[in-house]
């Protein structure tokens, strides 16, 4: 009966352990594999695997094995084989010179090692060669990886009856201790068999190559389930230890405890009398200052009342009463002054200022109209003057008084005289040529004089027109002067009225003086009131300061309360952890109890020979294997 694959074994274990696998798995593949390895190891101790190791004894002589000496003297170097026959070696150095044991090197025959000696011929790290013989009394079984214990050794194989030798197992070396009559040396090319008990092998992931009987597999799985539960119980206990450490941390932490003590200490410190924060002393001082301020406030109000009442020091009330009387008299005088203003301006028997001002107003209106008429007439005349005079002036400008006299153009008198001068004392065609030129020059001068006179006449006409327009402006100025005299006359009446108004204003200023004086008394009273208010503000400041100290203390107390809340929360969390720990430990005990039950059942199956095919051996009555 073959075994199951490793995958099938895991599935069977998950089924027995109610492990859903996949994302909700309770046991990882590594843990299940480890549990099965432990169960199979137990089974190997109860019912080990019966195994035979047969080896062919090859040549015992090893020739020219190369090795490199150690980096320093007495540094052991392992050879390819062990153990080595005593005194069978031959060692040569890199120059093929023979070396001597005890002089150049030392040997460890049992462990197959060599080391060069200080002062010998072998240098550090020198390449050397060694030839030796293997020990014929020893079988090296280091390659038996599943070896548990030795049963027997048969040598030589093929002998009838079998020869079972006495042997000694030391480490991974099997020493043959006796033969037919004395210790036996093995010969080359013969076979030797080692009968031993070995470990069972777990099947591969997808192979059914387990070495245990298939029918016993379920009992091994049962033991594997036990070890999986042992592991789960231990994991739960470890988690409990972690949770317990968390509880210890929560309960042992000094953060909240220290902060609570600090907050309470600060609250006490802030209220007690101490050198750092003398809150109690400050509050006591505040109380004293409050009492003093209350006394000062009452004194201020008393002084204010005293200053306003009639007393021997300052008769403020009497002065205010006199000021009131004077203000009433001044008000009557002001009314009289304003009545005079009205009387002077109104129509009355003494001065008909209003009638005069009315006449002045009418005359001003007439003069204004006449001025406007004169200005408009002047404007009209100027327009005509501008138009006509512009033409006359243009004509006058066009006439050059010297045009026929000095201009160097023809026919000026100057040019004519120059031409006549050239004809003097010369023979001329015609008669009286020079005199004719002189007459022509006089005619040109006469023509120029006529043009100059015409130019003067045009300018005179333009000036006459301008003077006519200026007459209108002079009329307007005359009327404006009359208008100004009326305005000045009216201004005199206004000045008289303003005199009465100034008198009223003067009396009003006197009233203002009295009012200012009374205001000074009021200001003095207000100063006492302000002093009282300042002291009240200072009193309020002290009260606020004391309230701030109380708020600071309340802040520390609030912090202490919050710290107490943190501690309560830690305690509640610790209680939850404690409950979980107890449940976890109970669950761990259940896992362990179930595991012990599973393992005990598996072990009982392995101990009961009736549960499986027992170990039986038969022997011939005629011939027995020879034990030597």
Give the CA distances from residue 127 to residues 70, 141, 198, in Å, rounded to whole numbers and listed in that order: 10, 30, 41
Q: Give the rounded percent of residues in the chain with a pLDDT score beyond 70.
A: 77
State the burial class of residue 219 (Cβ atoms within 10 Å of its Cβ: 0-12, 13-18, 19+): buried
Q: Report CA torsion sign: 202, 203, 204, 209.
A: positive
Query: What pTM, to 2 d.p., does this model score?
Result: 0.47
Q: Please name which of 252, 244, 249, 248 lies closest in space to residue 585, comparing C-alpha atoms.
A: 244
Q: Provide the pLDDT confidence category of residue 130 given band limits of 50, 70 and 90.
A: very high
Q: Across the chain, what does the average pLDDT equal?
A: 79
Q: Provide the pLDDT confidence category of residue 253 given band limits of 50, 70 and 90.
A: low
Q: Per-residue pLDDT tens for 191-204? A: 889 999 999 999 98
pLDDT at 621: 43
Helix (H, G, I), strand (E, B) or coil at 153: strand
pLDDT at 623: 46
Mean pLDDT in residue range 389-393: 70
Q: Per-residue pLDDT tens for 536-545? A: 787 778 777 7
Residue 51 is classified by DSSP as E
d(CA 11, CA 29): 10
pLDDT value at 622 more than 50:
no
Mean pLDDT in residue range 200-216: 89
pLDDT value at 282 more than 90:
no
Per 3-state DSSP, what percentage of the chain is helix, strand, and coil (rounded to 5)? 60, 10, 25
pLDDT value at 38 more than 90:
yes
Asked if 334 contacts 504 with a C-beta cutoff of 8 angstroms, the reply is yes
pLDDT at 399: 61
Q: Per-residue pLDDT tens for 400-434? A: 545 555 555 556 767 777 777 677 777 777 777 77
Q: What are phi and psi of 354, to 5 degrees?
A: -65, -40
pLDDT at 13: 94
Domain assignments of the chain as residue spans, ordered by start = 318-607
């Amino acid at each position: 009966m073959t075994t199951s694959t490793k995958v099938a074994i895991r599935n069977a274990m998950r089924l027995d352990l109610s492990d859903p696998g996949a994302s909700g798995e309770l046991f990882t593949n590594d843990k299940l594999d480890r549990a099965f390895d432990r169960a199979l190891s137990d089974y190997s101790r109860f019912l080990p695997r019966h195994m035979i190791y047969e080896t062919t004894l090859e040549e015992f002589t090893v020739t020219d094995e190369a090795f490199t000496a150690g980096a320093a003297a007495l540094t052991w170097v392992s050879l390819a084989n062990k153990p080595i026959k005593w005194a069978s070696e031959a060692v040569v150095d890199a120059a093929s010179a023979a070396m001597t044991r005890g002089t150049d090197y030392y040997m460890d025959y049992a462990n197959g090692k060599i080391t060069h000696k200080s002062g010998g011929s072998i240098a550090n790290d020198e390449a050397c060669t060694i030839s030796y013989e293997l020990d014929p009394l020893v079988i090296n079984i280091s390659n038996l990886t599943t070896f548990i214990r030795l049963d027997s050794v048969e040598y030589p194989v093929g002998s009838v009856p079998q020869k079972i030798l006495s042997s000694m197992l030391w480490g991974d070396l099997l020493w043959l201790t006796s033969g037919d009559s004395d210790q036996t040396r093995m010969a080359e090319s013969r076979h030797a068999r080692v009968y031993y008990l070995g470990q069972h092998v777990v099947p591969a992931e997808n192979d059914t190559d387990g070495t245990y009987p298939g029918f016993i597999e379920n009992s091994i799985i049962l033991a594997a389930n036990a070890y999986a539960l042992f592991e789960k119980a231990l994991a739960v206990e470890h988690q409990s230890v972690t949770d317990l450490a968390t509880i210890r941390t929560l309960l042992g932490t000094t953060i909240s405890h220290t902060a609570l003590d600090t907050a309470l200490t600060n609250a006490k410190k802030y209220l007690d009398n101490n050198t750092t924060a003398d809150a109690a002393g400050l509050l006591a001082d505040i109380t004293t200052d409050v009492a003093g301020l209350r006394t000062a406030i009452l004194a201020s109000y008393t002084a204010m009342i005293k200053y306003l009442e009639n007393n021997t020091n300052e008769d403020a009330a009497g002065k205010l009463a006199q000021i009131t009387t004077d203000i009433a008299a001044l008000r009557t005088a002001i009314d009289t002054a304003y009545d005079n203003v009205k009387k002077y301006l109104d129509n009355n028997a003494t001065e008909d200022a209003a009638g005069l001002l009315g006449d002045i107003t009418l005359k001003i209106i007439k003069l204004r109209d006449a001025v406007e008429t004169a200005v408009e007439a002047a404007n009209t005349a100027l327009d005509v003057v501008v138009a006509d005079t512009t033409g006359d002036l243009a004509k006058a400008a066009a006439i050059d008084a010297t045009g026929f006299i000095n201009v160097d153009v023809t026919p000026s008198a100057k040019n004519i005289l120059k031409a006549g001068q050239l004809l003097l004392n010369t023979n001329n065609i015609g008669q009286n040529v020079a005199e004719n030129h002189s007459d022509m020059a006089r005619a040109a001068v006469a023509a120029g004089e006529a043009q100059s006179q015409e130019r003067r006449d045009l300018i005179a006409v333009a000036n006459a027109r301008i003077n006519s327009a200026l007459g209108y402006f002079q009329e307007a100025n005359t009327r404006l002067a009359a208008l100004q005299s009326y305005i000045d006359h009216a201004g005199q009446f206004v000045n008289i009225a303003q005199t009465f108004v100034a008198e009223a204003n003067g009396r009003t200023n006197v009233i203002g003086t009295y009012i200012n004086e009374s205001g000074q008394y009021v200001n003095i009273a207000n100063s006492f009131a302000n002093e009282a208010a300042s002291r009240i503000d200072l009193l309020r400041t002290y009260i606020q300061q004391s309230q701030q100290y109380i708020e600071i203390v309340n802040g520390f107390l609030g912090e202490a309360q919050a710290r107490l809340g943190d501690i309560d929360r830690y305690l509640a969390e610790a209680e939850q952890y404690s409950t979980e720990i107890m449940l976890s430990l109970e669950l761990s005990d259940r896992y362990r109890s179930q595991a012990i039950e599973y393992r005990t059942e598996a072990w009982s199956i392995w101990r009961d020979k009736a549960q499986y095919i027992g170990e039986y051996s038969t022997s011939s009555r005629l011939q027995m294997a020879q034990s030597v």
